Structure 1
């Protein structure tokens, strides 16, 4: 009501303007996200969470090879990656390979944080341990 008074508009118009501004700001920070995750339900949770934040999911990769192929084709603005993948391959290796081609921020979401902390890892990168809280992912995505 105070804002409506200051803007000399009615409350409904002020709310409409605030909603429009919020949508415009969200569109400005939205990006294409690649999810590298072999567990179907976790991938679905991440996809839902990312979409609810206003981002676009360009694909879900279950293996190193799938991740590299998708990322080279789609060029995501953010990667959410597990470390241990379905075929025994490594999400960490996939990300390191991709980062030799282009720069992209990465958030590792894994039940094996020690593999991230002791291996060759990209800098900067974020680490979230599984099981994760949706708020943790929302804070960095």
Structure 2
């Protein structure tokens, strides 16, 4: 496989990681574009990306660190949500969050995460534990589950409750989702893309967002279809079949960036 083909194959998943890490499609995609521009300008870096995902994510991490340390304009806020996201970013240790997302959402092994972040495998385990501790301290919320497969819906219900959250409602179609929010708004939405009656989870979520800003995590078997960067797309995507830890960490990211609590 050529270097360009290798990078193209990994690009959707880097977009997924970047969006989850930054809290928005716009900021995440900016970081990805900057990473690709750096690779094109550096032959050694570009050649290393033929080795797989690790060099690509390592290059992204280098740029991310430069930006979050205040030496880049790449992550400059462009709106209210962007401003809130950047304020939240400055309030915690980014390394913890990166380690958790790399091991759960991106499913890297600890030694690979260590190579990406420039730390040892043992440090990676510690960072992940610290991130999980932070998640466990988060306030609970109500969660709307939009999922047409009963077993998966039940699994998500159990997961939501185990994390201390409340199940707002469950829905298998767009119409059911509309009915669920007719008298209130959830604090978080977990949504499948393709629903039982042929309706779209994307459309169901658009209906909900008309009521106000709500964090959303999409769960789909085809995340790469929604990670092109060519149009407005979801920020948080989990791949089916999913691991519960992946959903947990992604829910945490979505809630983190949409928290209305003051930053201490």
Shorter chain as denominator, the TM-score bin is: 0.7 to 0.9
Counterparts of 1:99-110 in structure 2, within 5 Å, are 99-110=209-220
Q: How far 1:133 moved relative to its partner?
A: 0.6
Q: Are residues 73 and 32 of structure 1, via their aligned partners in 2, closer, same or farther at CA, if it must alter by over 3 Å? A: same
- Name the one with the larger helix percent: 2
CA distance in 1, matches of 2:144, 2:231: 21
Q: TM-score, normalised by structure 1?
A: 0.73
Q: TM-score, normalised by structure 2?
A: 0.41
Deviation per CA, 1:53-99: give whole Å up to 9, x if none.
00000111000011122123231000000000000000001101211
Deviation per CA, 1:90-141: give whole Å up to 9, x if none.
0001101211221100000111324433696556x30001000100011122
Unaligned runs of 5+ in 1: 1-21
1:47 pairs with one of 157, 170, 174: 157
User: Paired residue for 2:190?
Assistant: 80
User: Paired residue for 2:141?
Assistant: 31
Q: Are residues 58 and 128 of structure 1, via their aligned partners in 2, closer, same or farther at CA, if it must alter by over 3 Å? A: same
Contact 1:96 1:121 in 2 (8 A): no
For these two proteins, the number of residue pairs brought into alignment is 116
CA distance in 1, matches of 2:149, 2:232: 22
User: Paired residue for 1:134?
Assistant: 244
Unaligned runs of 5+ in 2: 1-132, 252-264
Q: Are residues 52 and 132 of structure 1, via their aligned partners in 2, closer, same or farther at CA, if it must alter by over 3 Å? A: same
CA distance in 1, matches of 2:231, 2:185: 22
- Name the one with the larger strand percent: 1
User: Paired residue for 1:61?
Assistant: 171
CA distance in 1, matches of 2:166, 2:174: 21
Q: Are residues 121 and 82 of structure 1, via their aligned partners in 2, closer, same or farther at CA, if it must alter by over 3 Å? A: farther
CA distance in 2, matches of 1:116, 1:73: 30
CA distance in 1, matches of 2:143, 2:212: 15
CA distance in 2, matches of 1:120, 1:97: 19
**Which region of structure 1 is more displaced relative to structure 2, 77-86 or 94-103?**
94-103
